[in-house]
Amino acid sequence: MTHERTEPRLPGTRGPVSAAVTRYLRGTGPLPRDADLAGAPVYGDDLQLALYLCYELHYRGFAGVPAEREWDPDLLRVRAALEHRFLNALRTDTPVHDGVDEALADLLVEPVEGTGVSHFLCGEGELWHVREYAALRSLYHLKEADPHAWVLPRLWGRAKSAMAAVEFDEYGAGRPDRIHARLFADLMTDLDLDTAYGRYLDAAGAELLATVNLMSLLGLHRTLRGALVGHFAAVEITSSPGSRRLAEAMRRTGAGPAAEHFYDEHVEADAVHEQVVRHDVIGGLLAEEPQLAPDVAFGIDATGHLEDRLADRLLTAWRAGRSSLRTPLPFGIPHIS
């Protein structure tokens, strides 16, 4: 199957900041006022969507938006203001471990059975839960590994070669049919979801947008390279056990062979990646730049903080029999008479 590369359309707006950014991208209005930038809730839909729009210009952009907007100096100033508020909130709100070893050790501790999203989907999730989860995660998985690739020019030696090796696997190890973003599109096809890049942006709440924005924030700033490595470690180390449960959820709900294969692939690949990331990416980075240890720990812990917020939204909705999406999917929640 061919998955066409297209620019996504601009989404609907969610407040004065995202509305102003959208108008500016279309060339129909000014950028947000300082008062609106300062007043938007940091973890709210308006600010997170506005930041997502700014970041997406560095990936595929949007249909009808000139490519030159990527480096528009006025828009970059707005993005910097949004980033400043987001990063400050994360530094304030994230409980950070005293050291990298402690942060990594906690990643290896499985959550209490039944308390995580993958536990829910594996043990009691229905097909409509699986479809919602895939639609949300598509905002990252259809560009899987791209935010982390920005760190490569900022590393050297053992850390660079190890990071490049893991990214090579994520990009299919030279085989376009094995690129992880392609495998996820195949998963979406099994689940009767639209594989168009960015298709489910309107459906995704602020909690999901924040998890994707964190990757872009850390990837785009050289000063945050340590935190980006920490984020990458958190993703890779927790992926294998979570993917094992998600693969079982796909089998149990009859999602389809490609859906099963995506997570089966991550069980095997990420078990290897975990060791490479811990010993060579983090180990190599800290051997060269030991002063970045607090940043690595922050990246690990900020990732967990935002994933916990997302899990709370999903599980609260699903356990109440409600959709977790802003706009439920067609053929979504089954009718209960």
| Predicted confidence (pLDDT) per residue in 220-257, tens digit | 999 999 999 999 999 998 888 899 999 999 999 999 99
The DSSP annotation for 296-320 comes to: HHHHHHHHHHHHHHHHHHHHHHHHT
Instruction: Read off the pLDDT of each residue in 140-154 and give the average, rounded to a whole number.
Output: 97
Instruction: Read off the pLDDT of each residue in 10-28 and give the average, rounded to a whole number.
Output: 98
Binned at pLDDT 50, 70 and 90, residue 175 comes out as very high
What is the spatial distance between Cα 155 and Cα 239, in angstroms, rounded to a whole number? Answer: 23
Q: Which residue has the higher pLDDT, 72 or 95?
A: 72
Other CB atoms within 10 Å distance of the CB of residue 63 = 11
pLDDT over 60 (residue 158):
yes
| pLDDT value of residue 111 | 57
Q: Which residue has the higher pLDDT, 55 or 273?
A: 55
| pLDDT value of residue 210 | 98
Percent share of the chain, pLDDT over 90: 85
What is the spatial distance between Cα 161 and Cα 144, in angstroms, rounded to a whole number? Answer: 19
Q: Tokens standing for 240?
A: 């294998």
| pLDDT value of residue 115 | 75
What is the spatial distance between Cα 211 and Cα 56, in angstroms, rounded to a whole number? Answer: 14
Q: Which residue has the higher pLDDT, 83 or 105?
A: 83
Across the chain, mean pLDDT equals 93
Instruction: Read off the pLDDT of each residue in 35-60 and give the average, rounded to a whole number.
Output: 98
Percent share of the chain, pLDDT over 70: 95
CATH 3.40.309.10 fits 100-319, yes or no: no
| pLDDT value of residue 113 | 57
Q: What does the domain layout of the chain look like in residue ranges?
A: 16-93, 100-319
Lowest mean pLDDT among 3-12, 86-95, 177-186, 328-337: 328-337
What is the spatial distance between Cα 62 and Cα 81, in angstroms, rounded to a whole number? Answer: 22
Q: Tokens standing for 228?
A: 């980006």
pTM: 0.94
Distances (CA, A) of 262 to 59, 134, 189, 269: 23, 11, 12, 11
| pLDDT value of residue 20 | 98
Instruction: Read off the pLDDT of each residue in 22-37 and give the average, rounded to a whole number.
Output: 97
pLDDT over 60 (residue 23):
yes
